[in-house]
Amino acid sequence: MREHLNDEFVKLANKHGYRSRAAYKLMELDDKDKLIRPGITVVDLGAAPGSWSQVVVERLKEKGRVIALDMLEMQDLRGVEFIQGDFTEDTVLATLETSLNGQPIDLVISDMAPNMSGIDLVDQMRSNHLGELALEFALKWLQPGGNFVVKMFIGEGFDDAVKNMRQHFDKVATRKPKASRDRSSEVYLLGLKRKA
């Protein structure tokens, strides 16, 4: 708890009105890779409490569309359409796809993580599964040239995920933003420019 309260990104989030320190992860990724631009459609998977959606809305400058999804409740956020439900369930995925109304997406961002059991291999497998589902969704809905960001954990299956993404994107990059804790094996995989 003390570490959390003394964390520079927690302090920054509190000061600037972001819902969590995770906002700074997306900001750093976007500053480096230019993911968010006005006029695009963005889907935010694993959105609660909403800090990534906050960053997206700010950077869209009221031009574009944001759809956020999480199994947890999320307080309303101006400019964000929120769907509450478990992304792994077909009915929830169908609701999300219906809301897209056939329109392709420019950017899919996924900060989804499983409920941690404390058993490394189990947590790794669950995390990989969520990453695979997010990629499946992205490949179905991203338009050519669109981008994909997914949280992954270094470990079993990580190299396979990178290899798989390389088939579908012009460039695949691994990033560890400064706001990610050093002791965490969390990284973000970026699929840049979806191949036609």
d(CA 187, CA 121): 17
Residue pLDDT, tens place only, 52-70: 999 999 999 999 999 999 9
Q: What is the pLDDT of residue 121?
A: 80
Question: Looking at 15, 140, 151, 163, which residue is catalytic?
Answer: 151
Q: Please name the residue that has the structure tokens 């890779």.
A: 33
Q: pTM above 0.85?
A: yes
d(CA 187, CA 109): 13
- Of the candidates 154, 153, 148, 118, the one whose C-alpha atom is nearest the C-alpha of residue 135 is 148
Q: Which two tokens stand for residue 99?
A: 């809301």
* Fold held by 24-194: Rossmann fold (3.40.50)
Higher pLDDT, 2 or 33: 33
Give the mean model confidence (pLDDT) for residues 75-89.
96
Residue type (1 letter), 16: H
Q: Please name the residue that has the structure tokens 């290899």.
A: 163
For the question of residue 163 being annotated catalytic, the response is no
- Of the candidates 109, 131, 122, the one whose C-alpha atom is nearest the C-alpha of residue 177 is 109
Please report, rounded to a whole number, the percentage of residues in the chain having pLDDT higher than 70. Answer: 97
Q: Is the peptide bond before 49 cis (omega within 30 degrees of 0)?
A: yes
d(CA 109, CA 191): 10
Mean pLDDT of the chain, nearest integer: 92
Q: Please name the residue that has the structure tokens 């906002």.
A: 23
Residue pLDDT, tens place only, 85-108: 999 999 999 999 999 999 999 999
